[in-house]
C-alpha cells in the first residue's frame, strides 16, 4: 500500500512466482526499489536472485503476481519492450563481444548505431580504463575491465533502472576496488541501481537498502546500515555462504 506522502517505488514486485519447467523457483517475491540510489539483493547460492532479475526482464515469465515499473504494469511485456521502458540488465556472464573493440561494443549497444560524445565522456568518467583501451579488442581486457564494458553497454543509452548481477564475481581485490569507485559515482546520478551480490564487503558501504532472499522469497528488507551493523542479523540472514566470499 502506498503512503500518501511517499513516492511510488520505481520498481515493485508483488507476490511474484516463477516456474522453470517443473520447478517452482520464485515463491511470492515482494520487492520494492525506491527511485534513486542503490538497492542490493543478497542471499545464499540458489536463493533466486538471478531468477528475480531475469523475471523482471521478462526472460522468465512470471507465473503469478505483478511487476510494476515506473507507473506501468510490465508483468506481461516482452523483453525488448521492458528494455525500451528504461531497464538495463547486466547478466553475470559479461555481455561483451571479445573480437570487437571497446568502441564497437558500445556502438552496437547504441540505439541508432551512433555514440553521443557527451554520453561517452560521462561513461568514461566512471570507467577511465575504457578510454585507455578504446580501440583494443574487448577480449584482451581484464575481467574487471570487461565488466566495465558490460556495464557501459547497458548505460550507453539513458536508462532509469540498471540491474547488475554479481559484478565482482571472480575479480581480484584491486579490480573490485575500482569497480566500487565506479558504482559510487554511478549511484550519485539519477540512474537507480539494483545490484545482486554475494560479496558483502563490496555492498555494505555502497548499498542504501538491502533485500535478502531465501528459498525464492524476500525474507528481509531494510536499510543497509542496519544489517551492516548487526552481526547477529547477518549470521541469521546470510549464514556462512557470504562469509566465505569476504
Ligand X SMILES: Nc1ncnc2c1ncn2[C@@H]1O[C@H](COP(=O)(O)OP(=O)(O)OP(=O)(O)O)[C@@H](O)[C@H]1O
The residues that touch ligand X, with contacts defined as CB under 6 A, are: 20-21, 23, 25, 43, 45-51, 198
Give min distance, CB of 95 to ligand X, in A: 16
Give me Rg for the CA atoms of the chain: 18
Q: How far is the CB of 112 from ligand X (least distance, A)?
A: 34
60 vs 127, which CB is nearer to ligand X?
60
Query: What's the closest the beta carbon of residue 65 comes to ligand X, in angstroms?
Result: 16
Minimum distance between the CB of residue 230 and ligand X, rounded to whole angstroms?
22
Q: Give me the least distance between CB of 207 and ligand X, in Å please.
A: 17
* Residues facing residue 69 across a β-bridge: 11, 72
Pick 14 or 241: Cβ nearer ligand X:
241
Nearer to ligand X by C-beta: 63 or 189? Answer: 63
From the CB of 125, what's the least distance to ligand X, in Å? Answer: 30
| Residue closer to ligand X, measured from CB, 43 or 207 | 43
CA distances, 167 to each of 5, 116, 148 (Å): 35, 25, 9
Q: Are strands 192-196 and 161-165 parallel, antiparallel or unpaired?
A: parallel
CB nearer ligand X, residue 25 or residue 141: 25
Residues in the chain, overall count: 246
CA pair distance 216, 197, nearest whole angstrom: 16
CB-nearer residue toward ligand X: 209 or 213: 213
Amino acid at each position: 500500500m502506498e503512503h500518501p506522502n511517499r513516492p511510488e517505488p520505481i520498481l515493485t514486485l508483488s507476490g511474484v512466482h516463477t516456474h522453470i519447467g517443473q520447478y517452482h523457483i520464485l515463491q511470492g517475491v515482494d520487492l520494492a526499489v525506491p527511485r534513486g540510489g542503490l538497492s542490493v539483493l543478497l542471499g545464499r547460492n540458489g536463493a533466486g536472485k538471478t531468477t528475480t532479475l531475469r523475471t523482471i526482464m521478462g526472460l522468465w515469465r512470471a507465473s503469478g503476481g505483478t511487476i510494476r515499473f515506473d507507473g506501468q504494469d510490465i508483468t506481461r511485456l516482452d523483453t525488448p519492450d521492458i528494455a525500451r521502458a528504461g531497464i538495463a540488465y547486466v547478466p553475470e556472464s559479461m555481455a561483451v563481444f571479445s573480437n570487437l573493440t571497446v568502441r564497437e561494443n558500445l556502438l552496437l549497444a547504441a540505439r541508432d548505431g551512433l555514440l553521443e560524445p557527451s554520453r561517452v565522456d560521462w561513461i568514461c568518467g566512471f570507467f577511465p580504463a575504457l578510454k585507455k583501451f578504446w580501440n583494443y579488442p574487448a577480449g584482451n581486457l581484464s575481467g574487471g575491465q570487461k565488466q566495465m564494458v558490460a556495464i557501459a553497454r547497458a548505460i550507453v543509452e539513458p536508462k532509469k533502472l540498471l540491474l547488475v548481477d554479481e559484478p565482482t564475481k571472480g575479480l581480484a581485490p584491486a579490480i573490485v576496488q575500482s569497480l566500487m569507485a565506479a558504482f559510487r559515482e554511478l549511484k550519485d546520478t539519477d540512474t537507480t541501481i539494483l545490484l545482486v551480490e554475494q560479496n558483502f564487503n563490496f555492498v555494505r558501504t555502497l548499498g542504501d537498502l538491502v533485500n535478502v532472499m531465501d528459498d525464492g522469497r524476500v525474507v528481509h528488507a531494510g536499510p543497509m546500515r542496519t544489517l551492516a551493523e548487526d552481526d547477529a542479523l547477518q549470521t541469521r540472514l546470510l549464514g556462512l555462504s557470504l562469509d566465505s566470499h569476504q
